[in-house]
Amino acid sequence: AQSVTQLGSHVSVSEGALVLLRCNYSSSVPPYLFWYVQYPNQGLQLLLKYTSAATLVKGINGFEAEFKKSETSFPLTKPSAHMSDAAEYFCAVSGLKGGSEKLVFGKGTKLTVNP
Amino acid sequence: NAGVTQTPKFQVLKTGQSMTLQCAQDMNHEYMSWYRQDPGMGLRLIHYSVGAGITDQGEVPNGYNVSRSTTEDFPLRLLSAAPSQTSVYFCASSRQGGQRGNTIYFGEGSWLTVV
């Protein structure tokens, strides 16, 4: 079975500061991991994904995430926050059930960027 | 490029009414799914389909019905609406083919209120 825990339902940073959103996962198979972003009143957009290639994954909008197997974590970072980064972020792990792939989502972290 | 299209975007229902949320994708994806999003709960899988004529239950299927008569369409039916079904509903699709790590594409959501 797969599960995801996002640490911190709300994170607040200043514009220009480091963004760090935490995600711990549990998976009974080698995990595939995803970060999605949701802007207000919109659907989810893929930021990046880890699929067992490089452990450091670069995504859109300057975000990146590092697969840390020993810590079972997949933290999302961005060196310098921008006001436009204010959104809700979801970490997800994929698993196989009945031969088809499912995504299990964390509960989300709402990022606020202060001027 | 339409992607995943959901209708309606907003709907208010009375308790006991039935309705159908429509979902269509133009990417020839085999896999389609419905999620509901509730505050502090992340996204939870309602039903999914791995191809025309094949559907299965997700995490929270009670009170919902689906069918998949074509590759493109995957409607979600609320049989007898209840206030607990007030939520934001997302339809999603991806390629299948037994390959893990496929990107899942989301529609823009349908906001449903049951009074």
Q: Is B5 on the interface with A (CB under 8 A)?
A: no
* Contacts for A1 with CB less than 8 Å, ≥ 6 apart: A26, A28, A95
Residue with structure tokens 């079904």? B85
Does A99 have pLDDT greater than 70?
no
A91/A3: higher pLDDT: A91
Chain B residues whose beta carbon lies within 8 Å of the beta carbon of residue A36: 106
Task: Give mean pLDDT, residues B1-10.
Answer: 89
Beta-bridged to residue A92, according to DSSP, are A34, A105
As a whole number, the mean pLDDT across chain B is 92
Q: Closest chain A residue to B108 measured between Cα atoms? A: A43
- Give me the sign of the Cα torsion angle A115, A5, B60, B45: positive
pLDDT of residue A41: 83
Q: How confident is the model at residue A104 (pLDDT cuts 50, 70, 90)?
A: confident
Residue with structure tokens 């979801």? A90
Instruction: Give the DSSP per-residue string, B11-65.
Output: EEE-TT--EEEEEEESS--SEEEEEEEETTTEEEEEEEEEETTEEEE-SS-TTEE
* pLDDT tens digits, A40-76: 888 899 999 998 778 999 999 999 999 999 999 999 9
Residue with structure tokens 């207000």? A40
- Which of B106, B110, B111 is the best substitution to test chain A (most A C-beta atoms within 10 A)? B106
Measure the CA–CA gap between B85 and B44, rounded to whole angstroms.
13
Q: Is A98 on the interface with B (CB under 8 A)?
A: yes
Residue with structure tokens 């697969």? A67
Does A29 have pLDDT greater than 80?
no
Task: Give mean pLDDT, residues B7-15.
Answer: 96
Contact A31, A94 (CB under 8 A): yes
Q: What residue type is assigned to position A22 of the chain?
A: R
The answer for A 1-60 residues in CB contact with B (under 8 A) is 9, 32, 34, 36, 41-46, 49, 51-52
